[in-house]
Amino acid sequence: MYSLPITERQATLGVLGLQVIAGIAVLLISAIAQNVSLIGFAVVGTLIPGSIFFGYWRGWDWMRYVAVAFSVLLSVAVLVFDAQSRGEFSPVLFMPAVLALIMAGPLTIAGAGVVTLIATNLFLLDLRPNPYADVITILVSAVILGGMVLAKMVVQTALNIAQNNARRAEEARIEAAKQASIAEQRSADLEARNAEQQRLLDLVAELEIPVISLAAGTLLAPVVGTLDTRRVTALTDRLLGAVAAQRARLVILDIAGVSLVDTGVAQGLLKIAQAIRLLGCDVTITGISAEVAQTLSHLGVELKGLATARSPEDALQQVQKFSIGN
């Protein structure tokens, strides 16, 4: 079932507002009845609660205790001077405790109830019989006041638990947001580092296997170091991409910087040349030294179908002579 949420401050303002309205109503009734003594009582009962309401509304929290104290005085006055209340027990005795139950804490509830009961009995000390001095009345009043105090303590305990849970939930939310922000920042940093590492790897790969455009339709690929399976694959991919992008007609593979030339290197060169030829591009190998040539001869390796030249310059001259001759 839906219930309208209300705070302790709103409840206090509501009770104080009802007191003001009640005072105004009594004032109007007494004015109509032309009861002068009641008019004075109604004026006091309207101005003081109105002042307390205004002060509490302005943020003076201590005014709620003033309201309870005024309620004690008002209740004692009614119990002492009202003829009906003097003759028999009146529930007005518990009005200050009820107000304290709404506006204040357990100690204020107990204090308001006890002070009202004691003050009433002091003023009615000579009254016989006194309906507020009866043992049963005192015991019942103690039970009622004790119940109010316990009820307020239960409510305050539940409120404290709810506030602590809300605070912990807010702290957990803030911590979760903080951790999420840290994780997001770390992820961004990691992504940036990965991107930088990939850029460096691409740069290393480009420097490791450079492809240089010597002339229109002619590419130079100087190979330096050991030509293993990985480098053969990488060189093949890079040359195929460059040939396709630049529509090259000739690729010069310069192996002057290859430290070791054996059967595996020769087969790798043949594979590279075969792949390039599939794109309609010729391949010329340069940089074969006397030692490399002797090694290949001893190994019985033949670079069948591959044009050779001493240097890239010689390969270019051969291409130029071929072009002029045509």
CA distances in angstroms from 76 to 30, 70, 160, 172, listed in the order given: 21, 10, 34, 51
| Distances, alpha carbon 200 to alpha carbons 192, 197, 205, in Å | 12, 5, 8
Helices 263-277 and 290-299, axial angle in degrees (round to 10):
100
3-class SS at 304?
Answer: coil
Find all residues with CB under 8 Å of 83, minimum gap 6, and list them. none
Location of structure tokens 């792949």:
275
Mean pLDDT by 10 residues, the chain (326 residues): 66 84 82 74 80 88 90 86 73 88 88 90 81 85 90 87 89 90 87 79 61 84 78 84 88 82 78 86 86 78 76 80 58
Cα–Cα distance measured from residue 280 to residue 277, given in angstroms and rounded to the nearest whole number? 5
What distance in Å separates the CA atoms of residue 186 and residue 203, rounded to the nearest whole number?
25
Instruction: Give the per-residue pLDDT at 325.
Output: 52
Pick from 128, 64, 119: nearest CA to 92: 119
Quick check: bond before 129 cis, omega within 30? yes
The letter for the amino acid at 54 is F
Tokens of 197: 């590492």
Q: What are phi and psi of 259, to 5 degrees?
A: -75, -30
User: Which residues on adjacent β-strands are paired with residue 252?
Assistant: 220, 284
Query: What per-residue confidence (pLDDT) applies to 322?
Result: 60
E strand or H helix that includes residue 107? helix 106-123
Query: How many DSSP H helices and E strands does the chain contain?
Result: 11, 5
Angle, alpha carbons 309-314-317 (nearest 5°): 130
Contact 71, 95 (CB under 8 A): yes
d(CA 84, CA 92): 12
**25 vs 21, 33, 286, CA distance in Å?**
6, 12, 116
